[in-house]
Amino acid sequence: MPTIKRRIPKYRHFKPRNLGVVRIDGRDHYLGVHDSPESREKYHRMVAEWISDGTVRGIKTEPPQFSDISVNQVLLAYVKYARTYYVRDGEITSEVENIAYSLRPVRKLYGRTPAMDFGPRRLKTVRDYMIDEEDLCRREINKRVGRIKRGGERGAGSAQRIPRARFGCWPTTGALSGS
């Protein structure tokens, strides 16, 4: 009777979330950021375990949840989107620079915060920071807050790892009034 030869599973790229993935026994195991040393290490460890005893143990097999994504990651996705969207005659417009200025206080105050925890209260804190620390006029602050709101919506959609429904209502705070 011939012996059944097992094929070694291949390390693959899961493009929608930029993850490394390996399929073992019909089940996908997500390994982390594609082509990173950590994901390659997990891949080799999983394949070695599978070859030695036919099972895979101790590895989280679900893709990362959107609660694991930081505000910085959402904002980075927005800046990448802006560099492709705000182009005129092949040149990037000044709006990209304005977006960078707008996102700076968000990154400074809440960059490493999980994106799911960034809500209206924190946006108001960012707005107050712009008033106190950056000494900006009301009109400029309102423009920057608008860019931050759009950043959440566009960045979440561009990252493709965060449900758009969560950021369809990126935190809102009232505009500053003249009184």
Whether residue 33 is found in the same domain as residue 78: no
Q: For the chain, what is the domain count? A: 2
Reduced to 3 states, what is the DSSP secondary structure of residue 97? helix
Query: Given CA atoms 89, 94, 96, 99 in this order, what sign does their dihedral have?
Result: negative
Whether residue 86 is found in the same domain as residue 157: yes
pLDDT at residue 7 is higher than 50: yes
Whether residue 48 is found in the same domain as residue 113: no
Query: Can you give the pLDDT at residue 88?
Result: 94
pLDDT at residue 153 is higher than 60: yes
**Confidence grade of residue 164 (pLDDT, cut at 50, 70, 90):** very low
Whether residue 106 is found in the same domain as residue 145: yes
* Contact by Cβ (8 Å): 43, 20: yes
d(CA 170, CA 153): 6
Query: Can you give the pLDDT at residue 165?
Result: 40
Task: Tell me the average pLDDT across 12-22.
Answer: 91
Nearest Cα neighbor of 14 from 37, 42, 41, 39 is 39
Residue 101 covered by a domain: yes
pLDDT at residue 129 is higher than 90: no
Whether residue 71 is found in the same domain as residue 156: yes
Residue 117 covered by a domain: yes
Whether residue 80 is found in the same domain as residue 38: no
The gap from C-alpha 106 to its chain's centroid, in whole angstroms, comes to: 15
**Confidence grade of residue 73 (pLDDT, cut at 50, 70, 90):** confident
* Residues in the chain, total: 179
Residue 58 covered by a domain: no
Q: DSSP letter at 26?
A: T
Whether residue 156 is found in the same domain as residue 121: yes
Task: Tell me the average pLDDT across 71-89.
Answer: 90
Q: Torsions phi, psi of 88, nearest 5?
A: -135, 125
- What is the per-residue pLDDT across 50-64, written as a single tens digit (0 to 9) for each? 776 666 654 554 555
Whether residue 109 is found in the same domain as residue 34: no
Task: Tell me the average pLDDT across 6-31.
Answer: 88
Whether residue 17 is found in the same domain as residue 97: no
pLDDT at residue 166 is higher than 50: no
* Contact by Cβ (8 Å): 152, 74: yes
pLDDT at residue 174 is higher than 70: no
Domain that holds residue 46: 12-53
Q: Nearest 5 degrees, angle CA 37-CA 32-CA 100?
A: 95
d(CA 83, CA 86): 6
Residue 31 covered by a domain: yes
* Contact by Cβ (8 Å): 148, 102: yes
Residue 173 covered by a domain: no
